[in-house]
Amino acid sequence: MASKKNGSPNLDATLEAFVYLYAESRRVTRAVAEQYGLTGSQLLVLKMLEPVSELSLSALSEGIRAKNSTVTGIIDRMERDGVVVRKRSDEDRRVVNLTLTAKGKKLAAAVKVDPMHLFRALLEDLPESDAAELERIMTHLARRVRDFIDESEAGGAKDLGSDPRLARLFATERGRTP
């Protein structure tokens, strides 16, 4: 059932499922965030700040994989809404630390969901052996991607799109049907 006759599993089905889950997770995250007057990114930031006392803007940028200037804007709006406050660090006065306000903490506690909670609920319904398999495979995939990206960036190729290794990875030498 999971394999095709010719012995190779149906990658397209896996990819399709992945794409679908990816698209739907965005929608759901957005819908949930909206209930609390937040955007998807803001919910993400809220949940990243919740467990820590404070976090620098750069650290946050890295966490949500966005540029500093993007995060500045997101934090501007969250500060305007009284959810978060900026505070200059005393150790290093270049650094801006972010903390949730009382309102922000209350909000974070009210949103009893991390962005991927729908999947968490579904994962918890999986047979245990499946969950174990999935964990093993997914973490393996993530590690491979991470290694690849790290390697790319260490090589100084800041523009991922023009990385020759990416081009190689993306080249359709296996001749998938067009």
Q: Pick from DNA, a copy of itself, none: which does 53 bind, CB < 5 to 8 A by kind?
A: none
Q: How far is the CB of 121 from DNA (least distance, A)?
A: 22
Strand partners, 55: 98
Of 14-33, which residues contact DNA (CB under 7 A)? 27
Q: Pick from DNA, a copy of itself, none: which does 92 bind, CB < 5 to 8 A by kind?
A: DNA
**DSSP letters spanning the chain:** --B-TTS-B-HHHHHHHHHHHHHHHHHHHHHHHHHTT--HHHHHHHHHHTTSS-EEHHHHHHHTT--HHHHHHHHHHHHHTTSEEEEE-SS-TT-EEEEE-HHHHHHHHHS---TTHHHHHHHHHS-HHHHHHHHHHHHHHHHHHHHHHHHHHHTT---GGG-HHHHHHHS-TT----
Q: Pick from DNA, a copy of itself, none: which does 132 bind, CB < 5 to 8 A by kind?
A: a copy of itself
Give yes or no for a contact between 137 and 131, defined as CB atoms under 8 angstroms apart: no
Q: How far is the CB of 79 from a copy of itself (least distance, A)?
A: 24
Q: How far is the CB of 127 from DNA (least distance, A)?
A: 34
Q: Pick from DNA, a copy of itself, none: which does 19 bind, CB < 5 to 8 A by kind?
A: a copy of itself
Closer residue to a copy of itself in complex, CB, 94/158: 158
Residue 72 within binding range of DNA, rule CB under 7 A? yes
Residue 74 within binding range of DNA, rule CB under 7 A? yes
Contact residues toward DNA (CB under 7 A) are 27, 39-42, 56-59, 61, 64, 66-77, 86, 91-97
